[in-house]
Amino acid sequence: MEPEGLNPDERRLEAVDPRTVLVDCGPMRMYIQVLDRGRPLIDLAMEGGRVALTVLEDLARFLPVLKRKALEIEDNADFPVVVRKMIDASRKMEAVDLTPLAAVAGASSDVVADYLIGKGGTKVIVDNGGDVAIRLLGEETARVGIKTEVDAERPSYLLIIRPGMGIGGVATSGLGGRSFTKGIASAVTVLAEDAALADAAATVIGNAANAEDPAITRYLPETVYPDSDIAGEWVTGAVGSLPPAKVEEALEKGLAQAYRICRKGHIKGAFIAVKGRAVWTDSLAQHLRKL
């Protein structure tokens, strides 16, 4: 997601049902829920929506900075919270080609969720295009569906998140998603203590889940989006029929990257799917349920 100029007339902030507020503006399509022991707090969710719009304005102002490689950006006290979260999460991935925009959707969800959880709710869910910030208090739980394809209508696995698990963010990346990917994974879902880390990690793991084969087509992102932050770097366009060995190669590379980031303590686990085959870190094994 790359913020562009914002037109107030194009902003949509409204309750779409008795418990959900939608923020739809430019690159952001965010759903917000705030509950107090099961009771929807729709007015508070609307307040969160207004916070989301200010986050989007901050992103637009700092876009030139956010297009730079994360490891090359110097700290600046003037950066707003969302920008600092994006830079920090992206740096922790230790990938030289990563820009902070790899964490933009997750970080935006985090800022809104962190604001809301201190305002009276016991459960906050902020879903920004599939990059979800989750805040739970007391005995609250959250059900998270995990897909084997980014654009699948229904999830293939279910995960129940409880406060003691230390999971505050879930993000999904892969071929067919909103952002470019250099890999061939149909879906990579990452769980972390916040959504910014999950978002950045899903990008890195998705890029790593890769192989070379004539059935894989690639292109330069600037041919589709001229202002891309990764101009000149080849991304995946489509993946045709692959030999099983190539599928396994991509899964193994993605899983190795996931374990590397897990060992650093930056994520809680990852799920990777390529061409109908799925693997996941050991940390998820006891929590995943096949649907």
The domains found in the chain, sorted by start residue, are: 8-290 (3.10.520.10)
pLDDT at 5: 42
Average pLDDT of the chain, as a whole number:
94
b/e sequence 232-263, b meaning 16+ C-beta within 10 Å: eeebbeebeebeeebbebbbebbbebbbbbbe
Give the residue among 35, 287, 33, 31 at the shortest CA–CA distance from 162: 287
Query: Of how many residues is the chain composed?
Result: 291
- Residue 34's identity, in one-letter code, is V
Bridge partners, residue 217, by sequence: 238
Has this prediction a pTM greater than 0.85? yes
Q: Indicate whether 8 pLDDT > 60.
A: no
Res 110 pLDDT > 70: yes
For residue 113, how far is the Cα from the chain centroid?
14
Give the pair of three-digit tokens for residue 146. 């995990």
- How is residue 184 written in tokens? 């061939």
Whether residue 18 is predicted with pLDDT greater than 90 in this model: the reply is: yes
- How does residue 118 score in pLDDT terms, banded at 50, 70 and 90? confident
State the amino acid at position 73 in one-letter form: I
CA distance 74 to 166: 29
Percentage of the chain with pLDDT > 70? Answer: 97
243 phi and psi angles, rounded to 5 deg = -60, 145
Query: How many of the other CB atoms lie within 10 Å of CB of 208?
Result: 23
- Residue 4: its pLDDT value, please? 41
Residues 82-98 pLDDT 10s: 999 999 999 999 999 99
- The token pair at 116 is 């809301």
Decide if 57 contacts 6 (C-beta within 8 A): yes
Q: Per residue in 148-175, is it b (16+ CB within 10 Å) or e — as a string?
A: bbbeeeebbbebebebebebbbbbbbbb
pLDDT in tens, 224-258: 989 899 999 999 999 999 999 999 999 999 999 99
Please provide residue 260's backbone torsions phi and psi, each rounded to the nearest 5 degrees.
-60, -45
What mean pLDDT is predicted for residues 177-190?
93
Contacts of 42 (CB under 8 A, 6+ apart): 15, 18, 19, 21, 34
> What's the pLDDT at 178?
77
Check whether 176 has a pLDDT greater than 90.
no
The residues facing 239 across adjacent strands are 216
Mean pLDDT of 4-9: 44
